[in-house]
Amino acid sequence: MCEKNFVRYMNIQRGNFFAITTSPIAMVFAGVAILVIVYSVYNQSKINKRAAANAAKENA
């Protein structure tokens, strides 16, 4: 279903993928997606640092 809608959108826009950036709702979703990705990368790096510190503490 999602693929059908994407193909329909691309046909309407005549192949211009970046026409979606003119929609405020699409930009909100894109912004939220970027924030979620950045937060998850940041959170994972914190977890890795904490695990490395605990491993170093146990080995010392």
pLDDT at 17 over 80: no
Alpha carbon of residue 4 to chain centroid: 22
pLDDT at 58 over 90: no
32-57 pLDDT, tens digit each = 999 999 999 999 999 999 999 888 88
Contact between residue 5 and residue 11 where contact means Cβ atoms under 8 Å apart: no
In whole angstroms, what is the distance from residue 54 CA to residue 47 CA? 11
pLDDT at 2 over 80: no
19 Cβ contact partners less than 8 Å away, ≥ 6 residues apart: 13
- Of 6-15, 22-31, 40-49, the poorest mean pLDDT is in 6-15
How large is the greatest C-alpha to C-alpha distance in the chain, in angstroms? 64
